[in-house]
Every structure is written in structure tokens, then in C-alpha cells.
């Protein structure tokens, strides 16, 4: 799922004409405003992977300052929703 989130950020940056680091590790550490529109794009990519619609509560209000901070906050909340719906079988 991490790769889907990173790809959504790359796609959004491409649309905005922003050049990002080529390495996923460097991208995760780079300062990049992950705003609500980017998060919506991320959720649109992740929902088919998890197989259900994610509630708005997985997203922190105000966006994120980096891909790393978005991942740090989103992944545990998405995992919690998975466990709630599908059990502990990841």
C-alpha cells in the first residue's frame, strides 16, 4: 500500500509540474505538501486494493508536510479499518 500512496503523490506532483526525488526513500523524506486533494487521490488508489470505501476519519484535517508524515498517519488508520472489516488477516 505504501507504493500506491507514493505513486499517487508522484502523479499529483507531475500534474502540478513539481519535480520530486526519484528514490522512494528520498521522496518520503522530502518536504511536499500532501493536501486534501492529494489525500483524496491516495484514497481513490488505496480503496480498490483494500476492497472497501475508507471513511473520512482516516485522514487528518489540514494535510501533511511530507509523504513520510502522511504515511505515518494514514497507514495505521487504514490498517485499523482493515482489521475492523476483515479481521487480523493482512
Q: What CA–CA distances, in Å, run from 53 to 48, 58, 89?
A: 8, 11, 18
pTM of this prediction exceeds 0.85: no
Beta partners for residue 66, in sequence order: 31
pLDDT tens sequence for the chain (90 residues): 677 777 888 888 888 888 888 888 888 777 778 887 788 888 888 899 889 999 988 988 888 888 888 888 988 999 999 999 988 765
Domains and CATH numbers, the chain: 2-86 (1.10.1200)
Amino acid at each position: 500500500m505504501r507504493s500506491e500512496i507514493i505513486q499517487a503523490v508522484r502523479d499529483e506532483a507531475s500534474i502540478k509540474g513539481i519535480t520530486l526525488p526519484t528514490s522512494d526513500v528520498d521522496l518520503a523524506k522530502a518536504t511536499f505538501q500532501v493536501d486534501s486533494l492529494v489525500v483524496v487521490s491516495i484514497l481513490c488508489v488505496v480503496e480498490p486494493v483494500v476492497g472497501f470505501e475508507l471513511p473520512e476519519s482516516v485522514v487528518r484535517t489540514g494535510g501533511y508536510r511530507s509523504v513520510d508524515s502522511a504515511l505515518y498517519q494514514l497507514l495505521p488508520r487504514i490498517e485499523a479499518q482493515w482489521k475492523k472489516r476483515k479481521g487480523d488477516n493482512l
